[in-house]
């Protein structure tokens, strides 16, 4: 993978966390940078670890499907991108009744939320096992991009709400499908 592909993949993987972080920031009372960074680090570490786990799982299977691995990567990215696009197009959930907003979120709640937003990174990790890619660099890029985007999301959440979160998810899905298409075209010799 090129530096551009790795960067695009990393920021695409961070869009779920960004969208959720905007929601997290929107419900906090005047979130401070420290809380935003705490949220970003939790999301980033988990999002950086899951492609490593997926890669390890996929690497064991890669020898058996080497002839059509590019189709596996394309299908996984197409499915993930499509899911993200559908989520981005879905109607926002109605807001609950106003109450005194908390100053910070519980640690276990953030971890559980980060795990649910990182399932796509696990799947991408499986797909990356079928490619010649430095998984440590890619996982680090995904983790750093997610840390940055989730931190930014919490800070922006109070002002921007769900509007931008949906659009970020939509854009991330389009980028994932684009990366999958480029990988397929490269392996098929269309470039």
CA dist., res. 110 & res. 88, Å (int):
21
Contact 56, 26 (CB under 8 A): no
Contact 77, 179 (CB under 8 A): yes
Contact 22, 161 (CB under 8 A): yes
CB atoms within 10 A of CB 93: 8
3-state helix/strand/coil string of 9-25: HHHHHCHHHHHHHHHHH
Instruction: List the structure tokens of 44.
Output: 């980033």
Kindly indicate the confidence band of residue 49, based on its pLDDT and cuts at 50, 70 and 90: very high
pLDDT for res 190: 65
Q: Smallest Cα–Cα separation from 129: which of 184, 181, 188, 65?
A: 65
Q: Which residues contact 98 (CB under 8 A, 6 or more apart)?
A: none
3-state helix/strand/coil string of 54-91: HHHHHHHHHCCCHHHHHHHHHHHHHHHHHHHHHHHHCC
pLDDT for res 145: 96
Query: Among 39-53, 59-73, 117-131, 156-170, where is mean pLDDT lowest?
Result: 156-170
Kindly indicate the confidence band of residue 141, based on its pLDDT and cuts at 50, 70 and 90: very high
- Stated pTM of the model: 0.69
User: In the chain, helix, strand, coil percent, each to 5?
Assistant: 80, 0, 20
Kindly indicate the confidence band of residue 50, based on its pLDDT and cuts at 50, 70 and 90: very high
């Amino acid at each position: 993978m090129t530096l551009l592909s790795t960067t695009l993949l990393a920021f695409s993987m961070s869009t779920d966390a960004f969208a959720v972080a905007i929601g997290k920031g929107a419900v906090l009372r005047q979130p401070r940078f420290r809380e935003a960074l705490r949220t970003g680090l939790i999301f980033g570490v988990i999002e950086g670890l899951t492609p490593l786990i997926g890669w390890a799982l996929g690497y064991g299977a890669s020898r058996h499907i080497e002839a059509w691995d590019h189709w596996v990567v394309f299908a996984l990215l197409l499915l993930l991108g499509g899911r993200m696009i559908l989520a981005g197009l879905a109607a926002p959930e109605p807001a609950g009744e106003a109450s005194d907003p908390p100053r910070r979120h519980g640690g276990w709640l953030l971890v559980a939320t980060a795990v649910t937003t990182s399932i796509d990174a696990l799947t991408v990790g499986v797909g990356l096992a079928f490619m010649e890619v430095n998984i440590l660099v890619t996982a680090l890029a995904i983790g750093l991009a997610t840390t940055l985007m989730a931190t930014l999301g919490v800070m922006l959440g109070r002002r921007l709400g769900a509007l931008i979160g949906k659009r970020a998810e939509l854009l991330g899905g389009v980028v994932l499908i684009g990366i999958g298409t480029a990988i397929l075209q490269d392996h098929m010799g269309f470039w």
